Amino acid sequence: MTATFMDLKLNESLIEGLKKQGIELPTNIQANAIPPALENKDIIGQSQTGSGKTLAYLLPIFQKVDSSKREMQAIILAPTHELVMQIDKQIKTLAENAEIPMKSISIIGNVNIERQIEKLREKPHIIVGSAGRILELIKKRKINAQTVKTIVIDEGDRLLDINNIGIVKDVIKTTQRDRQLMVFSATINDRAMSISKELMKEAVVVKAEEQEQLNPNVEHLYFVAEQRDKIEVLRKLIASMEPERAIVFINRSEEIDTTTSKLKFHKLNAMGIYGAAEKQDRKKALEGFRSGKVQLLVASDLAARGLDIQDVYYIFNLDLPEEPKEYLHRAGRTGRMGKQGLVLSIVTEKEAELIKKYQNVFKINISQKEIYMGAIAEPGTKQEKKAIKNKN
């Protein structure tokens, strides 16, 4: 049975806030990490970006931080500016949707420290940033680490490596001994594990369980095309198979708009689905798709998270995902509940290499086909027919 956020003992306002973002059910890492995190346990969490790990630690922080106090209560350390900004954005979105007056600030290096000091006067509850600059501000007594109850180390595999560990430890040392420490990491090697344990009282190790099997009812095909011809191949495939509805996957969320426009230009009935943040558009696209008004839903892996769509037979990969896990997730959108499904990937010569990898990883057959005279044919058919024609 899948746990709900209520089962995890999150409070009502957070659950309502998540709903507004289109988030209804916890991901695996959230289901495993939230209960011990709420009990103030120290946590080592293994999970990839994209698994919902940010909310796995943010939700317990939101529940535990007293936003009526003007005190810094949580520090989140992340290795890159981009990740810091993403985390900060998730905090602000959740605070708004859950209507909780939680204040956060992002603190990164290489930007004007005076402005950060100015912003810190507002006494944010959560500080997200790079360890170096945060340590500097603690030393300048602009951040009071004594009131911090939770420290999160995101991308622990990087922050606990030989280059960063010193500074990260220094930040941790400035806080009280009984604070909670959570380390999240895509992979936890022995070194990261032993360092984490050394820093923790008693660590609870949680993992996002990987679902590794591909559904045997799903068939996999691929078509080789030049990048610029991919849409045309997709158009032909749609014309040939006339699916009632299909999901078209691309890799980058930023390209959903342009891809949708291109499909529309080819007279295809397509609509883009965006990340959980753009809730109105998301709802509209989903309703259109479910009711049959929209034939093709254009999505990225991110945008498709948490989508519950039954009865999709066709999945098209207009880009091939770079991770086997993502191929698996996309394929998992079809053939649900014992039904059949078909995954069609339109790939460049280069991407075709990845096809081989997926065949090996999942021990499945992904057959190469081509589209000839409006129908799916065995590879080489076009050349064969041409040769015959030339002979005659």
Q: What single-letter DSSP state applies at residue 336?
A: G
Options 14, 17, 28, 30; binder of ligand AMP; rule CB under 6 A: 30
CA max distance for the chain: 87
Report d(CA 93, CA 298) in Å as an integer: 24
Of the pair 50, 109, the CB lying nearest ligand AMP is at 50
CB of 379 to ligand AMP, least distance (A): 37
Of the pair 50, 324, the CB lying nearest ligand AMP is at 50
Of the pair 90, 144, the CB lying nearest ligand AMP is at 90
CB of 277 to ligand AMP, least distance (A): 7
Of the pair 89, 119, the CB lying nearest ligand AMP is at 89
Q: What single-letter DSSP state applies at residue 254?
A: G
Region from 23-31, 184-192, 316-324, 340-348 binding ligand AMP, contact rule CB under 6 A: 23-31
Contacts 24+ apart (CB under 8 A), 5-12: 5/59, 8/34, 8/35, 8/38, 9/34, 9/35, 9/38, 10/34, 10/38, 10/59, 10/63, 11/63
Of the pair 38, 302, the CB lying nearest ligand AMP is at 302
Q: For residue 88, which of 70, 104, 73 has the smallest C-alpha distance?
A: 104
CB of 237 to ligand AMP, least distance (A): 29
Contact positions with ligand AMP (CB under 6 A) in 271-300: 275-276
Between CA 200 and CA 298, with CA 28 as vertex, the angle to 5 degrees is 130
Of the pair 79, 355, the CB lying nearest ligand AMP is at 79
Options 8, 10, 14, 26; binder of ligand AMP; rule CB under 6 A: 26
Q: Give yes or no for residue 54 binding ligand AMP (CB under 6 A).
A: yes
Of the pair 276, 377, the CB lying nearest ligand AMP is at 276
Q: Give yes or no for residue 251 binding ligand AMP (CB under 6 A).
A: no
Taking a C-beta distance cutoff of 8 angstroms, is the pair 275, 22 a contact?
Answer: no
CB of 328 to ligand AMP, least distance (A): 16
Of the pair 302, 361, the CB lying nearest ligand AMP is at 302
CB of 254 to ligand AMP, least distance (A): 14
Count of other CB atoms within 10 angstroms of residue 280 = 8
Taking a C-beta distance cutoff of 8 angstroms, is the pair 195, 156 a contact?
Answer: no
Report d(CA 244, CA 364) in Å as an integer: 26
Beta-bridge partners for 247? 297, 315
Report d(CA 28, CA 207) in Å as an integer: 8
Contact positions with ligand AMP (CB under 6 A) in 75-134: none
CB of 307 to ligand AMP, least distance (A): 8
Paired tokens of 31: 């289901």
Q: What is the dihedral of CA 334, 337, 338, 342, to 10 degrees?
A: -10
> Shortest Cβ contact with ligand AMP: which residue?
306
Question: Which positions touch ligand AMP (CB under 6 A)?
Answer: 23, 25-27, 30, 49-55, 275-276, 302, 305-306
